[in-house]
């Protein structure tokens, strides 16, 4: 988790940084780093977040155009979280700032 913290601090203190909380940065990182779009429940468990907290973070990230939620194809009850092109670009920029 130290990676997320140092990355978050570098990003929010950088000129032109996004108006995001550390939690939102962590969620974006987890979504972008996943090999496939994670399920909402699995993401909440991975990040040790209550579902309402994760919902608020995803709503904010969605309003920024960084992630998108969609229903699972096999089971319509599943919610999958996709990083957008803009979200992946922001994650790449965050990694550059950290380096």
Q: Is the dihedral of CA 6, 91, 66, 48 positive or negative?
A: negative
Instruction: Give the model's confidence band at 9: pLDDT under 50 very low, under 70 low, under 90 confident, else very high.
Output: low
Choosing among 3.10.105.10, 1.10.10.10, 3.20.20.70, 3.50.50.100, the CATH entry for 2-98 is 1.10.10.10
pTM (2 d.p.):
0.79
In the chain, domain spans:
2-98
Question: Which whole-number Å values give the CA distances from 90 to 42, 48, 50, in the listed order?
Answer: 23, 23, 25
Which phi and psi (to 5°) does residue 70 adopt?
-150, 160
- Across all residues in the chain, what is the average pLDDT? 85
State which H helix or E strand residue 43 sits in: helix 40-47
């Amino acid at each position: 988790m130290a990676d997320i913290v140092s990355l978050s601090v570098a990003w929010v203190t950088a000129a032109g940084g996004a108006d995001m909380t550390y939690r939102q940065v962590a969620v974006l990182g987890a979504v972008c780093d996943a090999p496939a779009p994670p399920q909402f429940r699995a993401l909440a468990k991975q990040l040790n977040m209550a579902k309402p907290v994760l919902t608020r973070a995803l709503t904010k990230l969605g309003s920024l155009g960084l992630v998108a939620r969609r229903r699972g194809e096999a089971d319509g009850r599943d919610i999958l979280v996709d990083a957008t092109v803009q979200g992946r670009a922001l994650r790449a920029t965050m990694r550059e700032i950290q380096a």
